[in-house]
Amino acid sequence: MSASEQGPKIKYGETAPKLDKAQLQFMKLIEQQNLDRVQKLKRTRRNNLLTAGALGVSVLAIYGYSIFSVQQEKFLDDFDEPKKMSQATARILSSGVRLPPLPTIRDLVKLYKLQAMKQLSQNFLMDERLTDKIVKSAGRIDPRDIVLEVGPGPGGITRSILRRQPQRLILVEKDARFTETLQLLRECASPLQMQVDIYHEDILRFNIEKHVPDTAQRLHLIGNLPFSISTRLLINWYEDLAARRGAFRRNDTCMTLTFQKEVAERICAQLGSEQRCRLSVMSQIWTQPLLKFIIPGKAFVPKPQVDVGVVKVMPLKQPKTQLPFALVERVVRHIFSMRQKYCRRGFGTLLPPDGREEITHNLFQLADVQDTLRPFELSVAECLRLADVYAEHVAAHPEVACYDYRAPRQERNQD
Ligand SMILES: C[S@@+](CC[C@H](N)C(=O)[O-])C[C@H]1O[C@@H](n2cnc3c(N)ncnc32)[C@H](O)[C@@H]1O
């Protein structure tokens, strides 16, 4: 122990009374006891510090683990695209307008007794973080843009869209029970200079050109689609896209839509993938589809049997073909009609039986496509080359255009 730790030495002045031996021994004893006490206190202090350190490390470990676990729930993560975006875009995306205080969607559903109807494929999203994430997937929404939402239901996604402040929001909902909840949102949006138009219509019959006659503004199509119509609606929109009509008079109309997870994966499936099918090829002829993220079924009320994929479908600036949609659709449908067979088998069913094999062989040669590939092994370009040679064949033999190999034989002969 150093001198400073022992405390000041007592100086016995000249005037100090002399202590006898017993007193001196007693003082030494007291001094020794004090020193022992200081040592003991120091040990206790060191032990306390060690315990505090160990506790701190444990708390940090638990905290870190919790953060890590929460991150596992990928569906609730912040959309990871902003990392790739410019700072300006990220700023615009994160700056949403504040809506007046509103009851939660869950409360509204209870309040208005909005029981989900199975026949309209109603599965509601209650979590604001998820609805925000879907709308963020649509990318930048400019203040001049128009958004059309398919099937807003009680209005979860609608709120997220309104926070992005488009100039106009068109809501197409088949179920009139949602009128009041949607009107409530319209009233909230009005002071913020947003126009909300509510249509109780079937989206499959909705005339977009009538409701958006002008093409000056960019259009976004967003929706948590009812499963029952999602593929049909998408194919209808591809047809409009190919003809540059409806929502696709401009080539920057972007679709951000939900599908059953397996359908979402098929839409985006690349060559060689197990999920590659007719829908993959049809999608990739006119658009670039991107699977953004998966929402587990448990996030919906009521919970569907399946998970859901959010797909952003962007029209290609240069479509890969100028052929009519109906012709391409027919060729691709026939090619994929016999998925596990050589592709020439399905393609051959486009042609009447007389000379079918020889004509099929010649057309594959002309198209420079190997006829023993399976349909899912064909690239988009190869499918389109087959569509090209088929179109030329039909131009030379117009009767082939209406050949239907499924029609009863007698009917076919009359044709
Ligand atoms: C899966 S729910 C989504 C509801 C809401 N957007 C949400 O995310 O919570 C599908 C919605 O589409 C509506 N719907 C179903 N078929 C429709 C159709 N043909 N046209 C327009 N809306 C339809 C349903 O009534 C329902 O509100």
Q: Band of the pLDDT at 71, cuts 50, 70, 90?
A: very low
pLDDT of res. 376: 95
Distance, CA 264 to ligand 1 centroid (Å)?
18
Q: What is the pLDDT of residues 395-409, one digit of tens each?
A: 999 999 999 998 876
Give me the percent of the chain exceeding a pLDDT of 70: 86
Does residue 283 sit in the same domain as residue 142?
yes
Residue 69 falls inside a structural domain: no
**Is 384:371 a contact under the CB 8 Å cutoff?**
no
Q: Are residues 372 and 305 in the same domain?
A: no
* Cβ count near 249 (within 10 Å): 16
Residue whose CA lies nearest to ligand 1 atom number 2 = 122
135 CA to centre of ligand 1 in angstroms: 16
Instruction: Note whether residue 20 is domain-resident.
Output: no
Average pLDDT value for residue range 344-367: 97
Domain match, 236 and 337 both: no
Ligand 1, atom 16: nearest CA belongs to which residue?
120
Distance CA 311, CA 290 (A): 5
99 and 184 fall within a common domain: yes
Q: Is the pLDDT of residue 293 over 70?
A: yes
Closest residue to atom 13 of ligand 1, CA basis: 151
Same domain, 266 and 331: no
Structure tokens given for 209: 């050109």
Ligand 1 contacts CB of residue 299 (under 6 A): no
Asked if residue 21 is part of any domain, the answer here is no
Predicted confidence band of residue 19 (pLDDT cuts 50, 70, 90): confident
C-alpha to C-alpha distances, 321 to 239, 288, 366, 395, nearest whole angstrom:
13, 14, 17, 17
pLDDT of 33: 84
Q: 77 versus 259: which is more confidently predicted?
A: 259
Q: Which of 157, 161, 124, 129 is nearest to 297 (CA)?
A: 124
In this structure, which residue's CA is closest to atom 11 in ligand 1?
151
| pLDDT (0 to 100) of residue 81 | 41
Do residue 263 and residue 292 come from a single domain? yes
Contact 220, 299 (CB under 8 A): no
Under the banding of pLDDT at 50, 70 and 90, the label for residue 70 is very low
User: pLDDT at position 297, please?
Assistant: 97
* Strands 195-199 and 168-172, sheet pairing: parallel
8 Å CB contact between 293 and 79: yes
pTM above 0.90, yes or no: no
From the list 100, 99, 82, the residue with the least C-alpha distance to 91 is: 82
CATH code of 356's domain: 1.10.8.100
Predicted local confidence at residue 94, as pLDDT:
54
Token pair belonging to 31: 């001094």
Q: Is 149 in the pocket of ligand 1 (CB under 6 A)?
A: no
Please check whether residues 200 and 347 belong to one and the same domain. Answer: no
| Ligand 1 atom nearest residue 122's Cα | 2
CA of 179 to the centre of ligand 1 (A): 13
Kind of pairing between the strands at 146-150 and 168-172 = parallel
Give the Å distance between the CA of 124 and the centre of ligand 1: 9
81 assigned to some structural domain: no
In a domain, residue 389? The reply is yes
Both tokens assigned to 212:
């958006």
Lowest mean pLDDT among 52-56, 130-134, 340-344: 52-56
By DSSP bridging, strand 168-172 and strand 254-260 are: unpaired
Structural domain includes residue 42: no
* Residue finishing a domain among 255, 283, 315: 315
Domain count for the chain, please give it. Answer: 2
The packing angle between helices 278-286 and 227-242, to 10°, is 40
**Is residue 315 within a helix (H) or strand (E), and if so which, with residue range?**
strand 308-315
Q: Among 264, 296, 315, give the residue marking a domain's end.
A: 315
Q: Please tell me whether residues 289 and 341 are part of one structural domain.
A: no
> Does 206 map to a domain?
yes
Q: What is the pLDDT of residues 225-256, one digit of tens each?
A: 999 999 999 999 999 999 999 999 999 999 99
DSSP-assigned letter for residue 243: T
Q: What is the mean pLDDT of the chain?
A: 88
Section 68-73 average pLDDT:
42
The 3-state DSSP class for residue 148 equals strand
272 annotated ligand-binding residue: no
CATH number at residue 251: 3.40.50.150
Element containing residue 71 per DSSP (H, E):
helix 21-72
3-state secondary structure of 398: helix
**CB 331 within 8 Å of CB 383:** yes
**Same domain membership, residue 288 and residue 143:** yes
Does the pLDDT value for residue 374 go beyond 70?
Answer: yes
ipTM entry: 0.99
Same domain, 331 and 202: no
| Best mutation site among 124, 157, 234 for ligand 1 pocket (most ligand atoms within 8 Å of CB) | 124
Q: Is residue 139 part of a domain?
A: yes
pLDDT at 28 over 90: no
Asked if residue 300 and residue 169 are part of one domain, the reply reads yes
- In 3-state terms the chain splits into helix, strand, coil percentages (rounded to 5) of 55, 10, 35
Cis peptide before 302 (omega within 30 of 0): yes
Which tokens belong to 140? 């930048």
Residues 162 and 221 in one domain: yes
Domain assignment of residue 159, given as a range: 89-315
Cβ 185 under 6 angstroms from ligand 1: no
Among 266, 284, 315, which residue terminates a domain?
315
Closest-lying ligand 1 atom to the alpha carbon of residue 152? 6
